[in-house]
Amino acid sequence: MAASLRLRGAASGLRYWSRRQRPAVASLAVVCSRSMASKTPVGFIGLGNMGNPMAKNLMKHGYPLIIYDVFPDACKEFQDAGEQVVSCPADVAEKADRIITMLPTSINAIEAYSGANGILKKVKKGSLLIDSSTIDPAVSKELAKEVEKMGAVFMDAPVSGGVGAARSGNLTFMVGGVEDEFSAAQELLGCMGSNVLYCGAVGTGQAAKICNNMLLAISMIGTAEAMNLGIRLGLDPKLLAKILNMSSGRCWSSDTYNPVPGVMDGVPSSNNYQGGFGTTLMAKDLGLAQDSATSTKTPILLGSQAHQIYRMMCAKGYSKKDFSSIFQFLREEETF
């Protein structure tokens, strides 16, 4: 397997470079046209809100794409741009030996890989399959086993950062898989993200993302509770935030993404909780953390509670607001 893998992407002659070393370019059109001829095509399955801009960043870096999405409309834009659209994941696997999948749930990922017309039906030996979906790490491990049986390589590489980061190519990728294949993954992921972190064996990319987001949810709710309590006890919100940020309560949610309107500029709390990372998505990630904790018998007392809180918020009209709207949710006043 190693032998065949070594050939992958060789035509491009590129090595991975970090964002900082990347040279300023005269025009994207030039870059794209110049390299178009020399790169082997990359498969991309799942052209949703995140997949769409991610795929476009691969195009900008000169990779011809083999495209598939269950919704044909999602492919039209790419077809118009000259990329090749096929009719099932298996056909993607037939035409490309590097494939990126970006799908909403574990079930969609299983279907794309192991379904009747899934990747595994026609995957070539030595192919590199990178799943950027956020799914249960146990599912990632299962998929990896099946992929390995076919002589190919699977890596999980979920992303952190929303649609904005996807557009600007500033996503963070947390990558799990065989370490030897990491640089091959970096070549592609580096076109879409500014941080590509190696986390360990298959599934650890998902694990890292899930753990980070669980801690994020907990500290965001904690920040909202502490700010709300302080305000009710007579503290000025800006002053309280300043005190927390120079003390042991400091966290990303308090110093970079404060949930209280008016405390910071340029964050969702100061824009009526528009944009950012939706409550629905946080609830989904906490569901994955819960599943992983249940199956590994790991106690997550606050993580469970955070899951339930975001679940309730979804049912109370907050599903599309940024997850920092927990402050608004707690803030609603009693009227008696």
**Closest separation in Å from C-beta 129 to a second copy:** 20
Would you say 244 is a known binding-site residue?
no
Tokens 């809180």 belong to which residue? 309
Q: Smallest distance, Å, CB 273 to a second copy?
A: 16
Distance CA 86, CA 75 (A): 9
In contact, 89 and 68? CB cutoff 8 Å? yes
Closest contact distance (angstroms) between CB of 48 and a second copy is 14
* Residue 197, annotated as binding a ligand: no
Choice between 151 and 287, CB closer to a second copy? 287
Instruction: Give the shortest CB-119-to-a second copy separation in angstroms.
Output: 23
Query: Which one, 35 or 305, has the nearer CB to a second copy?
Result: 305
Any known ligand binding at 44? yes
Of 270 and 305, the one with the shorter C-beta distance to a second copy is 305
49 is in an annotated binding site: yes
Residue count of the chain, please give it: 336
Task: Say whether 145 is catalytic.
Answer: no
The reply to whether 238 sits in an annotated binding site is: no
Long-range contacts, stretch 25-32, CB < 8 angstroms, 24+ apart: 28/60, 31/60, 31/61, 31/62, 32/59, 32/60, 32/61, 32/62
User: Does the annotation flag 176 for ligand binding?
Assistant: no
Q: Which of 95, 145, 149, 209 is the catalytic position? A: 209
Q: Which is nearer to a second copy, 55 or 178 (CB)?
A: 178
Query: Is 243 part of any known ligand binding site?
Result: no
With beta carbons less than 8 A apart as the criterion, state whether 126 and 5 touch. Answer: yes
DSSP state of 87: S
Question: Nearer Cβ to a second copy, position 24 or 233?
Answer: 233
Among the listed residues 132, 174, 125, 175, the one whose alpha carbon sits nearest the alpha carbon of residue 152: 125
Classify residue 155 as exposed, middle or buried by CB count within 10 Å of its CB (0-12, 13-18, 19+).
Answer: buried
User: 229 CB contacts (<8 Å, ≥6 apart)?
Assistant: none
Backbone angles phi, psi at 145, to 5 degrees: -60, -45
Least separation in angstroms between CB 99 and a second copy: 24
Count other Cβ atoms within 10 Å, centred on residue 244: 20
User: Please, which residues have CB within 8 angstroms of residue 74's CB and are 6 or more apart in sequence?
Assistant: 47, 48, 52
Annotated binding site for NAD(+): 40-68, 103-104, 108, 134, 284
Annotated binding site: 40-68, 103-104, 108, 134, 284
Looking at the annotation, which residues are catalytic?
209
